[in-house]
Structure 1
Amino acid sequence: MLRRYLRLLGIQLKASGLLAVQYRADFFTEGLTSLFWTFTALAPLFVVYGERPVVEGWSFGEALLVVGWFTLLQGILEGAINPSLTGVVEHIRKGTLDFVLLKPADAQFLVSTQRFLPWRAFNVLTGLGLFVYAFSLIGRGPSLTGLLSSVLLLGTSTLLLYSLWILTVSAAFFVVRVDNLTYLFTSIFDFARWPSSVFQGVAKGALTLVFTYVIPLALMTTFPAEAMLGRLPLHALAGAVVGSIVFAWLARRVWLYSIGHYTSASS
């Protein structure tokens, strides 16, 4: 079963890659545009740290690690998650999700892998570049334990991001338009570019609680950065793993419930 789904994933990746290289100029233009937006996103960081060397216990180099994780996950979101799941909304509006549901494979897998944007991989490479630059500013590299923990957290962060997006898209089964919800999700995700401790002074730390337990942005960017720095407690690492599994389970339950309320074009 696993081998079958890996083969299907390979076919989808190949199809998306061939579609992207049909228009080579667009491929490189979009890649350069992604790089441009990444560097403009660093501007607020330069402004804040131009006034003070440390903000809520984070130096410029350490905060740059958080931005690196944000950039990397943004590449995964816009390149692998958003394109496919946005297409689900159109299927639901037109009643053409029937064609997906009738195929002999899991519907959630099929809609989650129907389209990829390879040029968004530039964001992933930029994120890795930011890691290198950040550690050069810090003056040391990550430990082996920190690297292994951050790799594990990359998996949990991607799973959390995907689960949150599934929860958002599932709303399309009950409302006519979810554009505002997707824009709201994207806007909220922008907060992940900052270390979670920055929000401790806002509403007595209420935002820190929200971004850790309700919308776990801290688990996606701040925790991996702390792991690379070697200062993430073991219980926090375990909590991130358990939390991502719980969110994935919840997203799956909501998806199955939503599918049960789908009204097809033939109904």
Structure 2
Amino acid sequence: MTGGEDSIGSDFLGLLVKAHHDANDSQRISVDDLIDNCKTFYVAGQETTNSLLAWTVFLLAHHTDWQEEARKEVLQIFGKQTPNPDGIAKLKTMSMVINECLRLYSPVGTLSRKTEREVKLGKLIVPANVDLLMSCLSLHHDPLIWGQDAQLFKPERFAEGVAKATNNKAGAFLPFGVGPRTYVGLNFATMEAKIALSMVLQRYSFTLSPGYVHLPLQQVTNRPLRGVQVMLYSL
């Protein structure tokens, strides 16, 4: 490493490099840790955001009334100017749309956890070293939680926040996990998606292409197998 610590930079990679060279042995990270964190942030982070953006564009192309509502909000807050953090925080309609998209098409369909010791889950006793799989998609489409319209795109269900939408059922909405192991890039991915969508809505209206075929595929993430083809119209 040359140029001194000040030349490393203060972005995410710079912070990791500084941590690798930390003078405190207890806080220093290994090269493997540095590489693994880069993989998580740049690969997993990109993949989940891509999935969120693809399905949100699909839903807005299909539900053009909500597309117009989201565009009206974006233009009211930003006009044709580049989106800024203060304005992004005021995008209530877009937040509702994104939450509903995360519910219907969670980027990660299944979460896994491994028990370190014997635990009690409800009436079940789970031994140590057992892999547990939780289906986000099943929870997010459960009529007992979301009502008989659980299969429908209704962003208004999030008008008063997640707790109200889930009837205060903890853990019912977990597109990025829940608890201490919630996906570390949650806020970054959401902010990234809002900026990208705002810039699209400022410039274009769009509808689904006649050639679009609806084929969701659950691999690492939940993605449209053949992509999302839309017809763009310049504003």
Whether TM exceeds 0.5 here: the answer is no
The structure carrying a bigger strand percent of its residues is: 2
How high is the TM-score relative to the length of structure 2? 0.30
How high is the TM-score relative to the length of structure 1? 0.28
